[in-house]
């Protein structure tokens, strides 16, 4: 039977892990992800799971052990944030290059320097080209639901890619919310048994993982990368299928992204993660004032569903893309660039502006969101004169 | 079985396996290691010494790049190369997964699968040191083998913290002011012994029975074991390929490379030369040391000899202090 519990996002992730009962978890503490690991080690200590828990000496070793364990043949997961993810980066590419279905819970946090333990998406952006599927969560329930779906996505025979579930650090990770914890048996049935694929542990059929590919004429590096790209094409379909199946089973439906009052909107906010909730409130207020504003909430970031996003956004007059990472040295931050790129070539393209918010945990208040919408409306009338990027709630 | 018990068993070398059953060896012929490379000899000796199903985690380095070349592989045993600094962490994951699968009944509990991590001295003493220390402290049941060729050879022969004092490498060249590497070699076995793991050993492929015995003990240690093995590098030591084992044995006969083990806290020197040869016997015939034999560098040879003597005496003292002088 499903129950409603009062849990933080990190506890929700641990709860999902309890139900998944992974074979190996290797992790290292870092705020704000630490309590995932703490909650889980407690479950291990109490025999609620029979996972082999490795309390490694660094995040580099956490991801390295995950690679070794996953290649040996079983379900493997870890959790981290910011500096921890940065230390893992080398092995993130190896995990995806070896097509190992490892799961990572990322309680997002600002990257140093200056050192900051609060939430933003700079770590999630750091890994965006690492060959991992990346899914954002708005709240505690979504973090839990996404983690369960991630098992199926990662292990799908046409995908076989590692999956990262992002939850906003210090917000979703630490906020207490109501969480529907689904029935253990129903979850078990949904995720299914793990099917090993060329496991190292099958010593009667020895396999080689991680051979180099350097000899000219016989190098297959490019082809291996091309296959990973194809796996992402499959993932786009698989994420939708599994989101649908999850909805049919548990009543909460998931697609590639969420549209909120977008159908007849003239203006849209595009945003990912925890602050989307505030954006929805602001949209309700604006709607009451007669302004046709909607939200497109990013869920799946990798693979980037650009065609579907284009179709959802192309008729609009203006779009305010909210990014929670630094655009230093670029035209704008990643969501902005990828949304603009998705809209390239459409007739009468919408005006697209970029608003940077919440770096290092800086508050995003309803008035800031309002301001961004107003600026976007203004730009559709006056045209964009130079400034594509704005900064919300900053001392200038 | 206690480590000491294994040691007392007189075990035969599996010569037949190497001489007649090449098609069953763990590493198939056709790899790309240099002629005369010590790594090949070490690997063949290792796999001839034991009969378990073994999963290998190999750090980036000469062995890795020369044995796993997509779409080919030389490995007839399950093998994974992850990165340069994480062979021990990768092996931790493998060992943990084996444990989990056995606990969950997905793997027969009595299947004696062993985990072997392999790294060069760079991947062990330097960049992989943290991961190694962590894995040993956590007590994962694995054998970590370091093939110590005293430098970063895969990248063309640069210094490592295992490179001996005075040696010429591509990053410690003999110049008109600085005559080679100016720092002493760090003693990895001492550091590993300080982890108080069940078994630590230093060995040489020039003493095959000793090496084979230590490898068997390492695999039966019921916990983490570390084995350091001197590995000649004809390319970057500047030695004749066919003389590799003779040169390696000179390191042993001069006590530059003592053969010993630390078996659950008991230090035991497993070979004591009847007559300790002067260190020049080891320095000769290697181009990386050639400049040391010049008259103006006499002080360097003296320093090497003095340091070697000090370390050898220290080892003898440890052996006495821990009761290792008796029969093994
Ligand atoms: C993180 C990282 N830094 C540097 C390298 C380049 N690199 C590859 S092998 C190697 C040296 C390996 O030396 P060692 O471990 O002694 O093994 P050997 O080459 O002697 O077999 C280096 C520096 C790398 N692959 N990864």
CA B208 and chain centroid, separation: 13
Closest ligand 1 atom, residue B233 Cα: 20
Q: What is the model's pLDDT at position B16?
A: 60
The DSSP symbol for B297 reads: G
- What residue spans define the domains of chain B? 15-322
Q: List Cβ neighbours of A367 (8 Å cut-off, separation of 6 or more).
A: none
The DSSP symbol for B82 reads: -
Q: What is the model's pLDDT at position B14?
A: 58
Q: Which of B40, B144, B152 to mutate to test the pocket of ligand 1 (most atoms within 8 A of CB)?
A: B152
Q: What gap in Å lies between CA B11 and CA B48, rounded to an integer? A: 12
CA B235 and chain centroid, separation: 18
Which residue does chain A place closest to B81, by CA atoms? A210
Q: What is the model's pLDDT at position B2?
A: 40
Per-residue pLDDT in tens (0 to 9) along chain B, 328 residues = 344 444 334 444 556 666 667 778 899 988 999 999 999 999 999 999 999 999 999 999 999 999 988 889 999 999 999 999 999 999 999 999 999 999 999 999 999 999 999 999 999 999 999 999 999 999 999 999 999 999 999 999 999 999 999 999 999 999 999 999 999 999 999 999 999 999 999 999 999 999 999 999 999 999 999 999 999 999 999 999 999 999 999 999 999 999 999 999 999 999 999 999 999 999 999 999 999 999 999 999 999 999 999 999 999 999 999 999 865 5
CB contact under 8 A, A210 and B55: no
Q: Which of B39, B57, B83, B84 to mutate to test the pocket of ligand 1 (most atoms within 8 A of CB)?
A: B84
Flag whether residue B98 sits within 8 Å of chain A, measured between CB atoms.
yes
Closest ligand 1 atom, residue B154 Cα: 19
Residues of A in contact with B130 (CB under 8 A): 57-58, 61
B247 with B281: CB under 8 angstroms? no
- Taking Cα atoms as reference points, which of A228, A79, A89, A245 lies closest to residue A152? A245
Q: What gap in Å lies between CA A41 and CA A14, rounded to an integer? A: 9
Q: What gap in Å lies between CA A242 and CA B51, rounded to an integer? A: 45
CA B170 and chain centroid, separation: 22
For B77, left (φ over 0), alpha (ψ -120 to 50), or beta?
beta
Q: What is the model's pLDDT at position B97?
A: 98
Q: What gap in Å lies between CA B94 and CA B242, rounded to an integer? A: 37
Checking DSSP bridges between strand A133-136 and strand A103-108, what pairing results, if any? unpaired
Give A43 to chain B, closest Cα distance, Å: 15
Q: What gap in Å lies between CA A147 and CA A125, rounded to an integer? A: 19
Give B9 to chain A, closest Cα distance, Å: 28
Domains along chain A? 3-250 (3.40.50.970), 257-391 (3.40.50.920)
Q: What is the mean pLDDT of each run of 10 residues along chain A (396 residues)?
A: 96 98 98 98 98 98 99 98 98 98 98 97 98 98 98 98 98 98 98 97 97 84 96 98 98 98 98 98 98 98 98 98 97 98 97 98 98 97 89 96
**Is residue B149 lining ligand 1, measured as CB closer than 6 Å?**
yes
What mean pLDDT, rounded, does chain A reach?
A: 97
A63 with A106: CB under 8 angstroms? no
Q: What is the model's pLDDT at position A217?
A: 75
Whether the complex's predicted ipTM is more than 0.85 is answered with yes
Which three-class secondary structure state does DSSP give residue B173?
coil
A137 with A166: CB under 8 angstroms? yes
- CA-atom Rg of chain A in angstroms: 21
Q: What is the model's pLDDT at position B8?
A: 38
Give B14 to chain A, closest Cα distance, Å: 21
Which three-class secondary structure state does DSSP give residue A393?
coil
User: Global pTM?
Assistant: 0.96
Q: Going by CATH, does the domain composed of B15-322 fall within 3.40.50.970?
A: yes
Q: What is the model's pLDDT at position B127?
A: 98
Q: List Cβ neighbours of B137 (8 Å cut-off, separation of 6 or more).
A: A57, B195
Q: What is the model's pLDDT at position B24?
A: 80
Residues of B in contact with A200 (CB under 8 A): 55, 78-80, 94
B90 with B134: CB under 8 angstroms? no
Q: List Cβ neighbours of A171 (8 Å cut-off, separation of 6 or more).
A: A9, A119, A273, A274, A275
Q: What is the model's pLDDT at position B9?
A: 40
């Amino acid at each position: 039977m499903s129950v409603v519990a009062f849990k933080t996002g990190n506890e929700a992730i641990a709860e999902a892990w309890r139900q998944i009962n992974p074979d190996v978890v290797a992790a290292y503490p870092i705020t704000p992800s630490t309590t995932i690991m703490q909650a889980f080690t407690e479950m291990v200590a109490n025999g609620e799971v029979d996972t082999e828990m490795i309390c490694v000496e660094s995040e580099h070793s956490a991801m390295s052990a995950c690679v070794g364990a996953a290649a040996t043949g079983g379900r493997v997961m870890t959790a981290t944030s910011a500096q921890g993810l940065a230390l893992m980066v080398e092995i993130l590419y190896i995990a995806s290059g070896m097509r190992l279905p490892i799961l990572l819970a990322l309680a997002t946090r600002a990257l140093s320097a200056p050192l900051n333990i609060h939430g933003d998406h700079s770590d999630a952006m750091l890994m965006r080209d690492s060959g991992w599927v990346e899914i954002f969560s708005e709240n505690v329930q979504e973090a839990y639901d996404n983690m369960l779906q991630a098992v199926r996505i990662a292990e799908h025979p046409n995908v076989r890619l590692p999956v990262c579930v992002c939850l906003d650090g210090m917000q979703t990770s630490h906020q207490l919310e109501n969480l529907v914890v689904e029935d253990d048996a129903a979850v078990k049935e949904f995720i299914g048994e793990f099917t090993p694929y060329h496991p190292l542990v099958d010593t009667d059929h020895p396999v080689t993982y991680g051979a180099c590919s350097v000899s000219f004429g016989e190098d297959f590096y490019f082809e291996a990368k091309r296959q990973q790209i194809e796996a992402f094409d499959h993932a786009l379909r698989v994420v939708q299928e599994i989101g649908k199946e999850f909805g049919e089973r548990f009543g909460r439906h998931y697609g590639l992204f969420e549209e909120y009052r977008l159908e007849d909107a003239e203006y849209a906010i595009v945003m990912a993660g925890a602050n989307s909730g505030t954006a929805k409130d602001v949209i309700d207020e604006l709607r009451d004032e007669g302004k046709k504003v909607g939200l497109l909430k990013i869920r799946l970031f990798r693979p980037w569903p650009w065609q579907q996003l284009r179709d959802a956004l192309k008729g609009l007059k203006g779009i305010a893309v909210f990014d929670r990472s630094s655009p230093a040295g670029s035209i704008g931050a990643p969501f902005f660039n990828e949304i603009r790129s998705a809209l390239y070539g459409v007739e009468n393209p919408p005006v697209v502006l970029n608003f940077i918010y919440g770096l290092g945990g800086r508050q995003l208040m309803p008035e800031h969101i309002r301001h961004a919408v107003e600026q976007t409306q203004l730009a559709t009338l006056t045209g964009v004169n130079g400034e594509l990027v704005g900064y919300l709630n900053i001392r200038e | 079985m206690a480590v000491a018990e294994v040691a007392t068993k007189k075990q035969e070398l599996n010569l037949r396996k190497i001489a007649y059953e090449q098609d069953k060896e763990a590493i198939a012929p056709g790899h790309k290691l240099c002629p005369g490379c010590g790594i090949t000899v070490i690997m063949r000796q290792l796999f001839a010494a034991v009969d378990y199903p073994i999963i290998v985690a190999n750090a980036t380095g000469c062995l890795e790049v020369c044995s796993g070349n997509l779409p080919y592989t030389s490995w007839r045993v399950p093998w994974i190369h992850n990165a340069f600094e994480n062979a021990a962490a990768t092996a931790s994951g493998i060992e943990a997964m084996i444990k989990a699968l056995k606990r969950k009944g997905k793997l027969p509990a009595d299947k004696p699968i062993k985990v072997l991590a392999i790294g060069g001295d760079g991947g062990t003493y330097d960049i992989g040191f943290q991961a190694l220390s962590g894995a040993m402290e956590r007590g994962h049941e694995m054998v970590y083998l370091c093939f110590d060729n005293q430098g970063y050879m895969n990248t063309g022969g640069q210094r490592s913290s295992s490179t001996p004092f005075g040696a010429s490498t591509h990053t410690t060249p003999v110049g008109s002011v600085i005559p080679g590497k100016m720092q002493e070699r760090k003693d990895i076995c001492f550091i590993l012994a300080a982890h108080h793991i069940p078994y630590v050993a230093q060995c040489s492929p020039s003493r095959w029975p000793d090496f084979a015995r230590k490898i068997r003990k390492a695999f039966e240690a019921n916990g983490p074991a570390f084995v350091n093995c001197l590995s000649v590098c004809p390319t970057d030591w500047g030695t004749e390929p066919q003389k590799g084992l003779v040169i390696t044995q000179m390191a042993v006969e001069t006590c530059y490379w003592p053969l010993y083990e630390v078996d659950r806290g008991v230090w035991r020197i497993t070979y004591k030369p009847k007559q300790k040869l002067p260190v020049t016997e080891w320095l000769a015939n290697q181009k990386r040391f050639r400049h040391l034999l010049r008259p103006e560098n006499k002080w360097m040879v003296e320093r090497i000899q003095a340091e070697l003597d000090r370390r050898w005496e220290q080892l003898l003292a440890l052996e006495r202090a821990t009761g290792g002088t008796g029969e093994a």
